[in-house]
Chain A
Amino acid sequence: MLSLFKDKIVRRVLILGILLRVLVMPFLFHPDIKTYSFQTSFLGGGVFNIYSYLEANKKNLPLREDFVYQPLTYLTLGVWQIATKPLLGNGFNTWLWDASQKSVDSAGVFRYLFILKSPYLIFDVGIAFVLSAFLKDIKKKRAIFSLWMLNPITIIIIYAFSNVDVIPLFISLCAIHLAKNKKFSSAAILLGVASGFKVFPLLMLPILALSSKDVKEAVKIFLLGVGTFFITLIPFWSKSLVSSAVVSGLTTRIFLTKIDLGFGVSIVVPVVILFLVYLLAISKKYKIQSLMLVVFMMLFSFIHYHIQWIIWMLPFGLLVFIQEKGARLALLILSVFLFALPFLYDDRSMSVSLFSMISYYFTLVPIPFSIVQKFYDTYSLMSVFQSAIVALSVFTSWKILNYQK
């Protein structure tokens, strides 16, 4: 995998990609990074179970949000903070504890953002190498490496929105690569570990299990994945872990779209989609990475997704983009719509507030939502975008599945 580094073109792309990321890292700010950095800083203070600690002490803390990620995120980011404490400097804790608007005035903010986002760079570059390992032809390897490293969507989503999802995504991708080489048990364990950071890799587990040779093997793989996930949870198990991370509002948002049948019963559209794709996996006619892409494309079509979630499908989108010529145009248009829609949300932190560390004045700039509202109903425009995403996802899925059949 790392032999690719000897290739001059790849090396140039890598350096340019890192350069662009370094340019974005210290200057763009999404409030999530301050919230979860504040929460993970408690590991350095000896707090192991962050979920129970936050529940007990919430009233005395300046930031009172739950810790919505899984335990391994807490441990990884907490250890990173402990390791980089000398580099972060003395003012870091004061900045973390300052929930007022004045915190943007801290002279160290650019340093903090740069250091806190640095670990993402390792996993991000790692994804580019793992992606290239999926392909045999050197030209295609170069192409996918370049499309990941020099991709405006990945750069903005990971470094402007401080996306911790890049860590479980890297591990999940390693798992899918193992599954491609028929190492299903190791792949399932890795998916379980990835879910220990954030639960989305669990959505991939049934595809992995159903792609194995028989029912016995499928059950074994499924249990291995789920079991590993629960092992990561056991030391933290508490009511607060379940409510804030396992079944948090963010996690359950995926299952919100319903068709009401009356009498309290409804059809949960994302569950229908998941079942359909899982059934397709049984036939073993389709590539695992293609099914992963179909799952995420179809899910995002029917939910109010967060911009950070788009990264879940990007590596699979790129693999399909390289391998299936017929789906390229639709995938390109789909990625533009998927990326553009969240900027229209009525949420300041999705757009103008990204610059608030340069100056607090940027929080006074009208957001795209209110600008569009002056000419046209923004919700109607968002509905048009979402509908286009549905059409493009259905079309692309049909193209991919039809082509592979």
Chain B
Amino acid sequence: MENIKLSKVVKYSRVISIALVVFVVFALPAILSFGIKFIPYSYQTPLSNTEDIFEGKSVRQYFYAKENKLTAIGMSLKNPNLVNKKDIILNLYKGESLIATSTINGQVIPDGDLVKFVFNPIENSKENYYSFTLSAPQVDKEHALSVYYTNHPDDVVGDLYVDGMQTKIPLSIITYYKPQSRLSLVAGLYSGGMNKFFADKEFSSIYLMILSVLLGFLVLNRRKS
């Protein structure tokens, strides 16, 4: 068993290489897409100053849901040296009625991490105006977590209130939505990638030409031998 035949290894190595490259480039993205539980509406806007959250101090951020099945809100939190090990709570409101709550413990929030507060999907959320509060009732001022503002708000965010007082700029947040169907997500990923590839016409044609020439050489070489 120890003395493996070299010819066999060479043969299998060739088969594995071809299979692996084809699998990684063409099939793996589809398989990985099954792990995407929710998709963002937009990119995170640039971060600016921060606002501390602790006992007696909370924020309320208004925002628009741009798609149906709103299921998470993401924001970057400052937690140097994991100083905060208590809960931070996000309450989601439509008008004044509480419709969802999501709690995350500070000890799983590395400093500056983009933290996602996840809740059950809200079916017909598109074009509705919501707000959420962020509070940390068990946290004293010295162990406060901080949330980031943005100077470049997108079309998702509305007004922000800190302890009931309106601020000039909002928080940097990302809203996430559950994909309408798994198939549409996979199709969207592949078509998005293809569109980007063919958008650079010069490169895509040269690249495809290189591939064709190499394939041609391969076939020609095979016939000759």
Contact = CB atoms under 8 A, between A and B. Distances in A.
A111 B6 contact: no
A359 B35 contact: no
A2 interface: no
A359 B38 contact: no
A15 B2 contact: no
A146 interface: yes
Interface string B171-213: 0000000000000010001001100110110111001001100
B25 A24 contact: yes
B4 A328 contact: yes
B168 interface: no
A9 interface: yes
A355 B26 CA distance: 11
B218 A328 contact: no
B123 to A, nearest CB: 21
A143 B10 contact: yes
A150 B14 contact: yes
Contacts of A364: 35-40
A11 B224 CA distance: 12
B211 A110 contact: no
Nearest to B198: A107
A358 B189 contact: yes
Interface stretch (A37-45, A151-159, A256-264, A271-279): A151-159
A24 B24 CA distance: 8
Contacts of A16: 14, 18, 218
B200 A326 contact: no
Contacts, number: 147
Contacts of B21: 20, 23-24, 152, 155
Contacts of A15: 214, 217-218, 221
A22 interface: yes
B28 interface: yes
Interface residues of A, number: 55
Contact of A328 (B9, B14, B36, B214): B9
Contacts of A358: 29, 189, 192-193, 196
Contacts of B222: 12
A105 B36 CA distance: 19
Interface residues of B, number: 53
Contact of B2 (A147, A329, A365): A329
A102 interface: yes
A109 to B, nearest CB: 7
Nearest to B220: A15
Contacts of B80: none
B32 interface: yes
Q: Chain A contact residues: over half helix, strand or loop, or mixed?
A: helix
A110 B208 CA distance: 12
Contact of B196 (A12, A109, A152): A109
A11 B214 CA distance: 11
Contacts of B33: 361-362, 365
Contact of B189 (A108, A325, A361, A366): A361
B27 to A, nearest CB: 12
B107 interface: no
Given A107-B199, A114-B207, A362 B221 contact: no
Nearest to B211: A22
Contact of A143 (B6, B40, B192, B218): B6
Contact of A19 (B36, B46, B189, B211): B211
B214 A18 contact: yes
A284 B207 CA distance: 49
A102 B45 CA distance: 10
Best-buried of A20, A147, A322, A364 by chain B (most CB within 10 Å): A364
A6 interface: no
B209 to A, nearest CB: 11
B32 A355 contact: yes
Given A143-B6, A322-B6, A366 B35 contact: yes
A365 B221 contact: no
Contacts of A100: 43, 46
A283 to B, nearest CB: 26
Contact of A28 (B24, B38, B218): B24
A101 interface: yes
Given A26-B207, A151-B17, A329-B1, 11 more contacts: A15-B217, A23-B25, A101-B44, A102-B43, A109-B196, A150-B17, A155-B21, A321-B9, A328-B4, A358-B189, A364-B38
Nearest first, the 10 closest Cβ-Cβ pairs linking A and B are A111-B203, A365-B35, A358-B193, A107-B199, A19-B214, A152-B20, A150-B17, A150-B14, A101-B43, A20-B21
8 contacts: A16-B14, A17-B17, A111-B203, A142-B10, A143-B7, A151-B13, A325-B4, A326-B3
